[in-house]
Chain A
């Protein structure tokens, strides 16, 4: 069984292997050849199309076919101006385009540029296009986004079609054959239906079924394949994480969840003890999730690059905490997942936590200490004192909620009497 994602393994290397995009291929070839002849009509092209139609693949295949180096920058990785500027510099200063090996610059997912966070990125790309000595390919899911208006003026827009059902089925059948997977035409058809022309999605679906069952039938597809264009709800996310057989599956589940990572960590934490039977697995799950929470904290302090590891640990880390997964006989256990009780508890206890805070602030101010110290050093001893300076709610939290009923009433009254009589003397 291959551990490589099939959508990568079976990616076309050459334009001739790219299905269903004949016009695009011709247009790109003539554009590049004009560049090679020194008189390009456009310095840049903008490949526009929905996910999984092959924008990046085509750019890579083009570079491969013309034996050129692809200088790639994924706009959703890093859009910092400096990076763009350094690429622009390389692009405008290099002396000869075809001296040794030519270059194509690829700026992937330019519509991922956030106009507020990455202010100045679009003008920097325009500068890059104007000064470049190399052909530039931009890609976008939606080139008609208003923020890309100026880019549309300087780059030739090329629309990519979605992969039709027939070429999609051909593609999937070819992979099945190569991977020796038993495939039912109806099953393949069902995948092609839901994939809506997204080859990457279709291949991933195929692999997720085939890797486990070694066959693809209509029933399996109907049961296991979700319609796309929808993020996973928390229950689906958990199932995909815990049931994943591959790193990338668990990771994809964590990254495509509709719950944000902060809440997702609570969901996972709640359900680790439900999903795992073995306490060793439970421990490993919490341990790795604890590590994820450290990276998350660091990320929120500004090191956003660390978020990547948060997903690694939250998804695959937790998924493979289950040691029996390594056994051939492992089968995913069906679990009724629970809403995180910690979140529930926090919202239910908001009032008493507020009272706790205000009481600790009163003590902190009076006693020249931190609120943390108030809770740890003063509250424990104040439990047995009658205190008139606090609201009933604050008193309740200082004294500990059930402790109140626990201490015998008679004893408590006796204490009060002692104190009163002392005050009188």
Chain B
């Protein structure tokens, strides 16, 4: 385990084998069958973030191939591999070497597959067919609807659901004890309340709050406050008050200093809009803004430039703020 993997609890406490996985019981049972038969179809793991897709994929190949599973396993992330050609070449190179003795195939995990365009997915489908005699694919995605049907029909689907509260809390308690962190029950409950069954986020939040001495409601919310860029709310307020230039400089900080993508920023603005009482605006205005944020995110998905499309959002907010007299209340 690398220093970094040791330092981050999400990695340190990631289950290594299917037996260690305490959740997603039905999925684990079905996968264990593949291991005993030493055969499996292509797999499609779909579910919200932090529900164990990558963990279970890693545990599966560990159990299939043993400790040296890395020799028979290729991990790709569709969000970072630039284009289908890169993926195709990596797959080709990997598939060229022979599989091991016991298991007649090798495994490729393609994570965040729903971030591929449908054209790229079509090309991926052909690649999957080409190497099907020696390789199996595990595709992981958040949104099944973003995976094209031909791929869905060629894979065995496993749906991952958010973890139950008792499972999350039990795991957090286990980690806290191992790490000798003091905590109270309300603190762990608070973690679940904000992460809603996302295990990765829960553990990250546990670790960060523990840096304040004790995991409590107070420290959890302190971390949450620190964890989100304050510029989001500042940007929203500035633009609603008609101060377009200030709002735009906040936007650039988010894009450049924080390295957030335009879509990330829109999502965080949306979060402030729906789940936060720090933004003081009339309810009907929330609806209008939500509608426009959706439009802007759609444009960004289509390929609009982050800085320009978000500048349009800020100008829109300035217009709406003026219409609803937001500047005057301040």
Write the residues of chain A forming the contact surface with B, with a CB cutoff of 8 angstroms.
265, 269, 272-273, 279-280, 282-283, 285-287, 289-291, 293-294, 296-298, 341-342, 345-346, 349, 352-353, 356-357, 360, 362-364, 366-373, 375-389, 397, 400-401, 403, 407, 414-415, 418-419, 422, 425
Contact = CB atoms under 8 A, between A and B. Distances in A.
B259 to A, nearest CB: 4
Contact of B77 (A280, A345, A364, A422): A364
B208 A381 contact: yes
A368 B303 contact: no
Contacts of A372: 79-80, 261, 264
The 9 closest A-B pairs by CB, nearest first: A380-B227, A297-B303, A286-B312, A370-B79, A293-B305, A283-B315, A381-B204, A381-B208, A290-B309
Given A279-B242, A397-B257, A400-B258, A293 B204 contact: no
Name the prevailing secondary structure of the A interface residues.
Answer: helix
A366 B8 contact: yes
B303 A293 contact: yes
Contacts of B3: 388-389
Nearest to B303: A297
Most chain A CB within a 10 A radius of its CB, from B205, B207, B256, B312: B312
Contacts of A397: 257, 259
Interface in B112-157: 112, 115
Contacts of A298: 303
A297 B212 CA distance: 46
Interface string B233-266: 0000000001011001000100011111100100
Contacts of A375: 258-260, 264
Contacts, number: 174
A294 B303 contact: yes
Contacts of A349: 256-257
Given A370-B111, A389-B3, A422-B181, 14 more contacts: A279-B319, A283-B316, A287-B312, A290-B309, A342-B252, A363-B4, A363-B8, A366-B11, A367-B10, A370-B79, A385-B7, A386-B211, A400-B229, A407-B226
A293 B212 contact: no
A391 to B, nearest CB: 13
A414 B77 contact: no
A285 B302 CA distance: 19
B307 interface: yes
Contacts of A357: 259
Name the prevailing secondary structure of the B interface residues.
Answer: helix
B77 A293 contact: no
Contacts of A287: 312
Contacts of B212: 384, 415, 418
Contacts of B305: 265, 290, 293, 296-297
Nearest to B245: A273
19 contacts: A269-B311, A273-B245, A279-B322, A282-B244, A283-B315, A286-B311, A289-B312, A290-B309, A297-B304, A345-B256, A364-B80, A366-B2, A367-B10, A370-B111, A370-B115, A382-B8, A383-B208, A384-B212, A422-B210
B177 interface: no
A363 B207 CA distance: 16
Contacts of B49: 373, 377
B208 A385 contact: yes
Given A293-B309, A377-B49, A378-B204, A362 B256 contact: no
Contacts of A368: 54, 58, 75, 111
Contacts of A376: 260, 264
Contact of A383 (B78, B226, B259, B312): B226
Contacts of B259: 353, 356-357, 360, 375, 397
A415 B211 contact: yes
Interface of B: 2-5, 7-8, 10-11, 49, 54, 58, 75, 77-80, 111-112, 115, 179-181, 200-201, 204-205, 207-208, 210-213, 223, 226-229, 242, 244-245, 248, 252, 256-261, 264, 299, 302-305, 307-309, 311-312, 315-316, 318-319, 322
B10 A269 contact: no
B226 A384 contact: yes
Contacts of A342: 252, 307
A373 B79 contact: yes
A370 B54 contact: no
Contacts of A367: 5, 8, 10-11
Most chain B CB within a 10 A radius of its CB, from A370, A373, A375, A381: A381
A356 B8 CA distance: 18
Contacts of A407: 226
Most chain B CB within a 10 A radius of its CB, from A272, A371, A385: A385
Contacts of B80: 364, 370-372
Contacts of B204: 377-378, 381
A298 B5 CA distance: 39
Contacts of B115: 370
Nearest to B81: A370
Contacts of B252: 341-342, 345
B205 A283 contact: no
Nearest to A411: B212
B298 to A, nearest CB: 10
A401 B258 CA distance: 9
A304 to B, nearest CB: 15
Nearest to A378: B204
Contact of A419 (B77, B211, B309): B211
Given A279-B319, A381-B207, A419-B211, A369 B226 contact: no
Contacts of B299: 290-291, 294
A388 B7 CA distance: 9
A375 B227 CA distance: 11
A280 B245 contact: no
Contacts of A290: 299, 304-305, 308-309, 312
Nearest to B249: A341
B208 A384 contact: yes
Given A290-B305, A380-B227, A425 B180 contact: yes
B309 to A, nearest CB: 4
Contacts of B179: 422
B226 A279 contact: no
A85 to B, nearest CB: 28
